[in-house]
Structure 1
């Protein structure tokens, strides 16, 4: 890996593979990332000893993560750890001052944006924009915080005349999915990619003939495995903030870009509809102080 973007993608790609690892394999990976002095000089036997596994097990895990072996893994991770953005992620502490909290929260979001940009699949992005532009019906599925992201995106699309239905109830998702057809698209929002209600709805949408898009933080998740197109965010977890906070920022940026790409595909119609929708709510704004 030579380019900056390739290096920035090392951490995210390993994190996205974590759902495919066994608890023991996860422990070994966490052992590596927990070593502050991990470098090109760190011996295989040292990692094996620290994690309490055999050297063969460590090599097997590195290959499962997509590397040719331990040396390739060691080189990629040690160079990734040297990146300026790798230093941005700092754990929040209950002893932090307000200034420290602000800096850490902002840096965590910047870090998530930098790394999501590095791993974003542009071909998948273009296919998603084409599907959303041409679809007859668009179903957005999400629960909890993911439903809020779905609503935000649906609101943006409505402004340019691209209508989407948002479902956050498992029964409503299934009923809506059952009515989709070959000209329709279902977009599933799930940070973990493990949300049963969303997965069930996507499976039914597929059986109904619709194309499917997944917005998730884990490319190896069950949701990502069944979707036609996957757009991944990436964010490191934090005991106080969790993963969802930074991932939400990254996902909203992916979807803002998707919104622009869809509008670009029929710019005249988008501009005309934007003027209509803005005019429709103009009377509800109080731009001038009387």
Structure 2
């Protein structure tokens, strides 16, 4: 993993690795990001003393996060903290006005979009688009908020004649997975990547030969490990808003981009089907001509 190409990727990559850390290791990382004066001059010993751990522990954490050592970790975090997007995220407080809250919510989503773009795996993205184009059946799995994203994506794809079924119930997902074969594709949605119902259905689908695309916030999650292709969103957590709200915006944009690329693969057919589906619903509009 390289952090030199785009400093915007530093924060997201560290957040994605946080579930892999022990509580003590995670506390050290949180200490770093809580320091307003963390800089290139912050000594290893000073950070270790502040976090209440040994210097060797700090170095171990840096390497676990994918850095060569403490100096590379320090450099990466400092570069990330200098970015304008790093200033976007602000916690909601009881003293905030409605204007403050609106700005914070919007900026959190803007940051999620910027950072998701920075970590997007374009090779995986293209493979996902090709898979959706070629598949005989496309089944979308998701529960709760993830199911809403699945339904939105299926709606968009139907407009261009690419049919997808949405399964938002544990039994429906398992029955769907049991009937799939190597000609089929699954898109599995889970913000945490730890939803057992989605993971088990994805695993069953793969055992039957279907290819699985995971849409998740954590590239090291159980769902990601159960998939053939992983597309990651990223968003900072918040005690009030959580990660899900901003991550949902990022995931919707990933799916919007997939929709456009899939349409581009056979533009003439997509345009023809778009005209047909739009004509079919025109009679249901009050402003029809």
| Superposition TM-score tier, normalisation by shorter sequence | over 0.9
Q: CA deviation at 1:21?
A: 1.1
What is the CA–CA distance in structure 2 between the aligned matches of 1:141 and 1:49, rounded to whole Å? 46
What is the CA–CA distance in structure 2 between the aligned matches of 1:185 and 1:63, rounded to whole Å? 36
What is the CA–CA distance in structure 2 between the aligned matches of 1:85 and 1:56, rounded to whole Å? 31
Between 1:57-66 and 1:19-28, the stretch displaced more is 19-28
Between 1:93-102 and 1:135-144, the stretch displaced more is 93-102
Q: CA deviation at 1:94?
A: 2.1
Partner of 1:129: 129
| 1:22-37 correspondence to structure 2 within 5 Å | 22-37=22-37
Partner of 2:237: 237
What is the CA–CA distance in structure 2 between the aligned matches of 1:47 and 1:220, rounded to whole Å? 27
Q: CA deviation at 1:265?
A: 0.3
Partner of 1:147: 147
For 1:246-285, what per-residue CA distance to the aligned partner results, in whole angstroms no more than 9, with x for missing partners? 0000000010000000000011111111111111111000
What is the CA–CA distance in structure 1 between the aligned matches of 2:197 and 2:232, rounded to whole Å? 19
Runs of 4+ residues deviating >6 angstroms:
none
What is the CA–CA distance in structure 1 between the aligned matches of 2:79 and 2:165, rounded to whole Å? 44
Q: CA deviation at 1:154?
A: 0.3
Q: Under a length normalisation based on structure 2, what TM-score does the superposition of the two structures give?
A: 0.97
Between 1:92-101 and 1:62-71, the stretch displaced more is 92-101
Q: Under a length normalisation based on structure 1, what TM-score does the superposition of the two structures give?
A: 0.97
What is the CA–CA distance in structure 2 between the aligned matches of 1:126 and 1:42, rounded to whole Å? 41
Partner of 2:217: 217
Q: Specify every segment of 5 or more residues in structure 2 that has no aligned partner in the other structure, as ranges.
A: none
Partner of 1:202: 202
Three-state SS of the structure 2 residue aligned to 1:284 is: coil
| 1:1-290 correspondence to structure 2 within 5 Å | 3=5, 6-287=6-287
Please give the root-mean-square deviation of Cα atoms over the aligned residues, in Å: 1.1
What is the CA–CA distance in structure 1 between the aligned matches of 2:74 and 2:157, rounded to whole Å? 44
Q: CA deviation at 1:47?
A: 1.5
Q: CA deviation at 1:2?
A: 5.0
Instruction: Answer yes or no: is the 8 Å Cα contact 2:17–2:65 preserved in 1.
Output: yes
For 1:199-257, what per-residue CA distance to the aligned partner results, in whole angstroms no more than 9, with x for missing partners? 00000000010000000011111111121100000000111110000000000001000
Q: Specify every segment of 5 or more residues in structure 1 that has no aligned partner in the other structure, as ranges.
A: none
What is the CA–CA distance in structure 2 between the aligned matches of 1:194 and 1:78, rounded to whole Å? 31
Three-state SS of the structure 1 residue aligned to 2:181 is: coil
What is the CA–CA distance in structure 1 between the aligned matches of 2:192 and 2:116, rounded to whole Å? 15
Aligned length: 287
Three-state SS of the structure 2 residue aligned to 1:187 is: strand
